[in-house]
Structure 1
Amino acid sequence: MRSMATCSIAPADHGQKIDTMCKAIGQLQQTVDRLLQQNNLSSDDARREASPIGNSPASAASNQVHTQRSLDFTRMAMTRDNSPEPPHQSEPTHTSVVVTEPMGSLYELTRLRNLRSNQSKLARRTGELEAGNDFISRGLLDNAEAEELFDYFLKTLNQYLWIGLEELHPTLDSVRKSSSLLTATIMTVTALHRPTSVATFDNCYTEFLASVSSSMFDRYHSVDDVRGLCIAAFWLSDVSWKLCGHAIRIATELSIHQSFFRALDGDREHFLRARLWYMLYVCDHHFSIAYGRPPTISESVQIREHERFLQIPLAGPLDMRILSQVSLFQILTRVHERFAEQRLPHQPGHGLLSESSFPDLRHFNLEIDQWRIHWQVRQVHNAYIGAFPPMGNVLYSYFAKLQINAFAVRGINTNQGSLSTERKEFANIAVSAATSILTYILDEPDLRRCLVGTPLYVHTMIAFASVFLMKMGPRGRAMGVQLDMEFVWSLIARMVHLLQSSVTSDRHLLYYIAAGLDKMLTRLKETTTATASNDLHMSHDDQSSTNQASQLNEGPSYRADWQLYLPPIHDNALLDQNLINANHICEAFGSESAGGVYNLLANQFSHLDGMNF
């Protein structure tokens, strides 16, 4: 502005020359400003960095990274572009009328860079990664241990999900050059699953949280950043829901949700991006259905036409596995849209699933059976995790049957006596599914070996099945559903032992599931045994008042041994007093580290309010 003012008062005979100089200076200033803005520096910052006084090369580099990060998150980027954004490759280049989205029109008017899509800026700034400025190079994790963790990840955890990381990054060096967030994720989740890496997990987890926090307000992201967030969401229980939502937002900024159509043309990069979108869909629905929250990703063309993805020559067994999950959660989404909605308090049948809904319930059960038949035969054994892929389909069908049929006992009042024949049928299916979940895991070696490495959804459904059986057992006779409590106790005790022997550290969620189930099992034994003893004592008093001869003729009235563990059906007050309720679930699973399991159980059983669930 000062130079322009000088130009305005110049003599007339020099005016043209000075105008030319002013324009050149202005263009130079704009160019310098753009370069500084791209590096998130002001003119004052640039002058300070140009000064050689008082800074060693190492400290200068550290200060520069710190300054850039600080400015990234504290300065609103109200900077303008001087040239239009280049058209995306998928956009038509012929002369036609193009109607953009509202934000695109706003960008056309203002040219503000922070309104522009990141499509032409897919990669994070590479300066930090090329300089090796990650937590491994800073010495927070030994390079040899990092290589060991990465190798362990490729052969185990990478196989349980549908990541296919070996197709993208066969070496740790490749990951480190691509995304520091993905690097921190792999190190963190792997250390969580190794009993000798507890201290390493704590260090890596701190670095991981710092990377996620930085990414929240970072202007540039990569596809591997999304991949890292999604992987972490499947295993880190305390932040899973937040990570999933953050990953989906970044993925849509990078237009990953639109890669499906390019993938159908055989584009490998877009094929891998479309696979990642399927992975995000499954992750989103794992937690939305389990926690009773609305999903973020809708049923788009890519989801509805997922079978077409398998026709791409690049598709393989990995894609069969992930798309079987997509197909399953399409069904479960419809189930929860149909049955999980809360009714108004004064509506008829509040909380109770009406018998007019039973045809829909039966249809959903049939869909799960068809899903299992369709997808199980398409799964193949894996060199690292054995028969887990086909067995996993069977296990997930049990999960689905439990979730679907548990709606049939929602809102049931145990004081009303036996259920209708049809409702009793669905209740028995739910009990059978819960029992099958536990017995299948306990009896199959490949499932036992894979238990710790499986995603959070598997762990939470094990907890749900166990608690469901413990809560249904004392109520079973009152509703006409037979369940041997000795068998339930034995089954859950075996599961607790398996979890305790499989868990890798006290940071792992299974550690808290085992402890919580052990507490609830102890509580159930204490209450039912006390009730049975009281019932026997009352029966003994009654018999003492009868005739001695009558006692000799009729003999003692003893129940079968398994009945000793069941509360008397006629004593409703005592029954309600001793049932495991929400307070007991909170006591068992309400700790900070097991809060995710408690939230899941609280949501699932909140629908069964008439049964004190």
Structure 2
Amino acid sequence: MSRENSPQPQENGPTGLVTAPMRSLYELTRLKNLRNNPAWKPKASLIDDDFISQGVVSVDEAEFLFTRFVESNNRMLWDGALLLHQSLDSVRRSSTLLTAIILTVGALHTPEQTEAFHHSYDVFVSLASSLSLARHHSLDDIRALCIGAFYLANLSWKLSGQATRIAAESGLHQSYHRLMQGETNQMEHVRLWYATYVCDHQFSIAHGRPPAAVDDESIRNIEQFLQQSESTNGDARLAAQVSLFTTLTEAYMAFGSDLNRPLDQEDLQNMRTFNVAVEQWRLQWVPRSKNCASLGSYPSKALILYYHFARFQLNSLALRRVASPGASGLETLSLDHREAANTAIAAAMATLTLILEETDLRIAFPSVPIFTYTMVAFCATFLLKMAATWGRDNAGGGDGNNRLGLTINTRDIVSLVQQSADMLSGVAASLNEKHLAKHIAAGMLEMLQQFHALDKDTQHTDLLAVDMNAIPMVQGPDDNAFWAGEYNWHDLGGTFGFGLDETLLGQMAADNFELWPQ
């Protein structure tokens, strides 16, 4: 700890009063370690001693992976909002962390690049770990953390939180006000602030945890951002996601993620309000998402995908604490519970159907962020659990309304999950073996196998339209089975709600697999 004789002047509010307590503490003590140095710039010689210069990854290989990222993944992130550099040389001079994650993601989406993936991944993890306690950060470092969160399943939660904290520390939350005051150079800063908001809220909801970023002035007035002359089509898609996750976060705050808390009638009335908000979101934003030559109809179709998944997430909460067949005290669901549950079933099936039927969505699928893969995994697990738990009770025989009043068609569900698994298997074949697609596809096939084994113990095997015996036996990485013991089909509470990691991805071996060799 050292002191400064002449502390650098700090901007205060219009009244001249200190605007933050920590600034007051610094002015009293003059301790250097209590503040960041806004004049700090990355070293110009960064490129001379980075991991590429040291031969960890060759220059030719780095150029190839950089191009791979730019031509595929970068377009999925709102038309390149997180990568402003036009060349690998430019990235290397700005941020080694950003360079490392670009090569990592590029290798993750390229077959036969496992070694390059491991090398780049190790560099990125080491730098990201050091960054958490560093006092100096660049905007490209924040972009790197967001890209890592969007594409690395095992680090998404940690990186999204770190990106949000550093973004706020760097003052990005103040950029919107400056933009509205006419500082057009703040446009890129506001765009990055929105990206960190989506990153944070996307993964906080996915993991069933409260978000770190709040709904500030920039979030509440996002239309003002889109009215700027520099606004792009990518900005409209980014704003759409900000708007949707604002609604889903409000729902999270209203209903929570406690699996032991069933929804009462008042909750279900509130759910109707959220359903209306999601419907209005689709009507407002899908027409504003313009298609393009490079992505076809993906921009608008991706928003429709998010719409179906949002409806599924919301309405599946109606099944919290619903007893499994044979449990004591089983009662018929109320009309409101039944309506919401059937909406969730329909939305989950619509999510999988859209991916299978929309050509441009399937073409883009290999390059999309991992949250989209999570949608598929969550919907498939939900539908198979519903079919296994409620699809064969006394009233419906597996193909209609059962005694709880739930509309479950076992044939359609099994067929849809099978087709989705096949589609993901095809996607995985075009990617690196470490990509999440391989693990989810294998998990879905394993789940179908166990569903078939469960079905053999019932009297309705003949109802299945799919030849389950034709499903190949699948094993996970390193020839280890995905599950030790039988799949817990009747743990319905573990699937419903906002928690996707510990219960869902844990069972599907997606969030627990190791990206690095043992």
Q: Which residue, out of 305, 311, 314, partners 1:401?
A: 311
Matched residue SS, 2:322: coil
Larger mean CA deviation between 247-256 and 228-237 belongs to: 247-256
2:442: which partner in 1? 515
| Aligned residue runs from structure 1 range 324-403, under 5 A | 324-342=240-258, 351-403=261-313
Letter of the 2:137 counterpart? H
Number of equivalent positions: 473
Identify if the C-alpha distance between structure 1 residues 459 and 560 changes in structure 2 by more than 3 Å, giving closer, same or farther. closer
Native 8 Å contact 2:100 2:123 kept in 1: yes
Deviations 1:182-216 (A, max 9, x none): 11111111110111312211111111112112222
Larger mean CA deviation between 359-368 and 160-169 belongs to: 160-169
Would you say 1:251 and 2:167 are equivalent positions?
yes
Native 8 Å contact 1:154 1:165 kept in 2: no
Identify if the C-alpha distance between structure 1 residues 505 and 561 changes in structure 2 by more than 3 Å, giving closer, same or farther. closer
Q: Which runs of 5+ in 2 are unaligned?
A: 392-401, 469-485, 496-501, 514-518
Q: Which residue, out of 104, 125, 129, partners 2:46?
A: 129
Shift of 1:120: 3.3
1:151: which partner in 2? 67
- Distance in 2, matches of 1:501 and 1:227, equals 30
2:179: which partner in 1? 263
Would you say 1:580 and 2:503 are equivalent positions?
no
Letter of the 1:172 counterpart? L
Shift of 1:524: 0.9
1:492: which partner in 2? 417
- Distance in 1, matches of 2:208 and 2:507, equals 20
Shift of 1:593: 6.1
Letter of the 1:82 counterpart? N
Would you say 1:83 and 2:2 are equivalent positions?
no
- Distance in 2, matches of 1:210 and 1:383, equals 38
2:477: which partner in 1? none
Matched residue SS, 1:242: helix
1:501: which partner in 2? 426
- Distance in 1, matches of 2:306 and 2:507, equals 27
RMSD between superposed Cα atoms in Å: 2.8
- Distance in 1, matches of 2:322 and 2:247, equals 25
Identify if the C-alpha distance between structure 1 residues 84 and 214 changes in structure 2 by more than 3 Å, giving closer, same or farther. same
1:420: which partner in 2? 334
- Distance in 2, matches of 1:456 and 1:312, equals 31
Shift of 1:437: 0.6
Identify if the C-alpha distance between structure 1 residues 336 and 593 changes in structure 2 by more than 3 Å, giving closer, same or farther. same
1:610: which partner in 2? none
| Aligned residue runs from structure 1 range 189-588, under 5 A | 189-342=105-258, 351-414=261-324, 415=327, 416-474=330-388, 475-476=390-391, 477-503=402-428, 504-532=431-459, 580-581=489-490
Shift of 1:429: 0.5
Native 8 Å contact 1:119 1:253 kept in 2: no
Shift of 1:419: 2.1
Native 8 Å contact 1:424 1:481 kept in 2: yes
- Distance in 2, matches of 1:218 and 1:525, equals 52
* Larger helix percent: 1
Matched residue SS, 1:483: strand
- Distance in 1, matches of 2:83 and 2:378, equals 35
Would you say 1:120 and 2:39 are equivalent positions?
yes
Q: Which runs of 5+ in 1 are unaligned?
A: 1-77, 344-349, 537-558, 566-576, 598-613
Percent identical: 39
Matched residue SS, 1:595: coil
- Distance in 2, matches of 1:209 and 1:452, equals 23
Matched residue SS, 2:408: coil
- Distance in 2, matches of 1:587 and 1:85, equals 50
Letter of the 1:129 counterpart? L
Native 8 Å contact 1:519 1:588 kept in 2: no
Matched residue SS, 1:238: helix
Larger mean CA deviation between 437-446 and 450-459 belongs to: 450-459
Deviations 1:18-56 (A, max 9, x none): xxxxxxxxxxxxxxxxxxxxxxxxxxxxxxxxxxxxxxx
Matched residue SS, 1:377: helix
- Distance in 2, matches of 1:215 and 1:185, equals 14
Identify if the C-alpha distance between structure 1 residues 393 and 588 changes in structure 2 by more than 3 Å, giving closer, same or farther. closer
- Distance in 2, matches of 1:578 and 1:593, equals 12
- Distance in 1, matches of 2:200 and 2:118, equals 26
Matched residue SS, 2:241: helix
Greater C-alpha radius of gyration: 1
Shift of 1:268: 4.1
Native 8 Å contact 1:512 1:589 kept in 2: no
Q: Which residue, out of 54, 77, 80, partners 1:138?
A: 54
- Distance in 1, matches of 2:62 and 2:214, equals 38
- Distance in 2, matches of 1:166 and 1:230, equals 8
Shift of 1:115: 0.5
1:543: which partner in 2? none
Deviations 1:125-182 (A, max 9, x none): x05415x111111111121221222222222111111363597211111111111111
1:41: which partner in 2? none
Deviations 1:392-427 (A, max 9, x none): 110000010001100111111245243223321111
- Distance in 1, matches of 2:208 and 2:503, equals 22
Identify if the C-alpha distance between structure 1 residues 170 and 178 changes in structure 2 by more than 3 Å, giving closer, same or farther. same
- Distance in 1, matches of 2:138 and 2:35, equals 16
Identify if the C-alpha distance between structure 1 residues 107 and 587 changes in structure 2 by more than 3 Å, giving closer, same or farther. closer
Identify if the C-alpha distance between structure 1 residues 448 and 561 changes in structure 2 by more than 3 Å, giving closer, same or farther. closer
Identify if the C-alpha distance between structure 1 residues 275 and 596 changes in structure 2 by more than 3 Å, giving closer, same or farther. farther
Which structure carries more relative contact order (alpha carbon 8 Å, separation 6+)? Answer: 2
Shift of 1:562: 6.8
Shift of 1:384: 2.2
Matched residue SS, 1:447: helix
Shift of 1:250: 1.6
Identify if the C-alpha distance between structure 1 residues 532 and 217 changes in structure 2 by more than 3 Å, giving closer, same or farther. same
Letter of the 1:245 counterpart? G
- Distance in 2, matches of 1:309 and 1:274, equals 8
- Distance in 1, matches of 2:108 and 2:236, equals 28
Letter of the 1:405 counterpart? N
